[in-house]
Amino acid sequence: MSKKIVGIISSYQGLGHQRDWLWKQTPHPFGVWGNIQMLATAEQPDFLLLYQFDFPKPQPPSPWWKSWRKPPSAKAAALSFKNVPIERRIYSLREPPLEEVLETNQYNYSCASQYCGYVTGPDELAPKPDYMPAIWYVGNTFQELNEMSPPEKIKPCCWITSGIDRTENHRKRLAFIQLLRDNNIDFDLYGRNLAPNLGGYGTLQNKWYGMAPYYYNLSIENYAENDLYVSEKLWDALLAWCLPIYYGGSAADKLLPPGSFLRLPSLDEKGLAYIREVTASLDAWHEAKAAIAEARQIILHKLNLLAWLSDYVTQF
């Protein structure tokens, strides 16, 4: 039986032009997983994944002489769905349900419900509320991640984040970085657009190099208020054999084995004290090795977005 081709459209810049998107998440060539082949740029796919696709919003009436410049409506955007039948279109919203974007999320869910057979996202506003299937940003091959033993660990703790401050949650995270710096917590910081006073080492093309040599990773979600949202921050750390010190919602507790990550209690003095205590020794990492190994296999084989898509296609 031939593989079903899964294409993609997305509002993430450049993603829809990346032919090999998700190919590293399978042991097989060219994005094959079970009964599907992931070909993001396919012109005539059998299924279409709308991955964080933002539907154009209606614009106020314009003077007649500006009408030729109007952006497309949501209905017009549907014409770009590559002739895939509606029941074979899957909408997946990926961003957290922050207060600042709730109106946009609701609008996207409303539009997606008109044009897609399955609409999901990590919040209760979604027609099908559910966890986000796993993607990861360490650049190793699937075979390497699947078969490797822990890499050499030489430093205590790292944090990979960004200087984005658009929302209150972003600003709380940046304030916590400053708190850790002010109290001389020993950790290495990587990421884009971080203020010079935070002492970061800049961006990484492959997150593996900023995680694999470390025992612990500070995995701080931008959103921790529901029981569905969990992101690549946790998957990346575990795949690099770090023990995550995790701040997020309860979704991770349902998806991963006990002991595979530690719970950071808060982004304040209590959290600072917890990080100081944990990273003062390597005991927690050594105690967690077996649970980390188990979690890695769950991420690679069960939570994997390709595995999710393959299961979805099976019903047709």
CATH number at residue 295: 3.40.50.11660
Residue 177 lies in a domain: yes
Domain that holds residue 26: 4-130
* Residues 271-306 as b or e (16 or more Cβ within 10 Å = b): bbebbeebbeeeebbeebeebbebbbebbbeebbbb
Looking at the fold, whether 262 and 193 belong to one and the same domain comes out as: yes
What percentage of the chain exceeds 90 in pLDDT? 87
pLDDT band at 75; cut points 50, 70, 90: low
Residue 310 lies in a domain: no
Of 1-5, 43-47, 135-139, 146-150, least confident by mean pLDDT is: 1-5
Q: Is residue 256 predicted with pLDDT exceeding 90?
A: yes
Q: What's the whole-model pTM score?
A: 0.93
pLDDT value of position 64: 47
Span 175-188, pLDDT tens digits: 999 999 999 999 99
Looking at the fold, whether 243 and 146 belong to one and the same domain comes out as: yes
Q: Is residue 25 predicted with pLDDT exceeding 80?
A: yes
pLDDT band at 62; cut points 50, 70, 90: low
Residue 316 lies in a domain: no
pLDDT band at 82; cut points 50, 70, 90: confident
Question: Which residues are CB-neighbours of 63 under 8 A, at least 6 positions away?
Answer: none
Span 173-232, pLDDT tens digits: 999 999 999 999 999 999 999 999 999 999 999 999 999 999 999 999 999 999 999 999
Q: What is the mean pLDDT of residues 145-161?
A: 98
Residue 311 lies in a domain: no
Task: Tell me which of 83, 101, 130 is where a domain ends.
Answer: 130
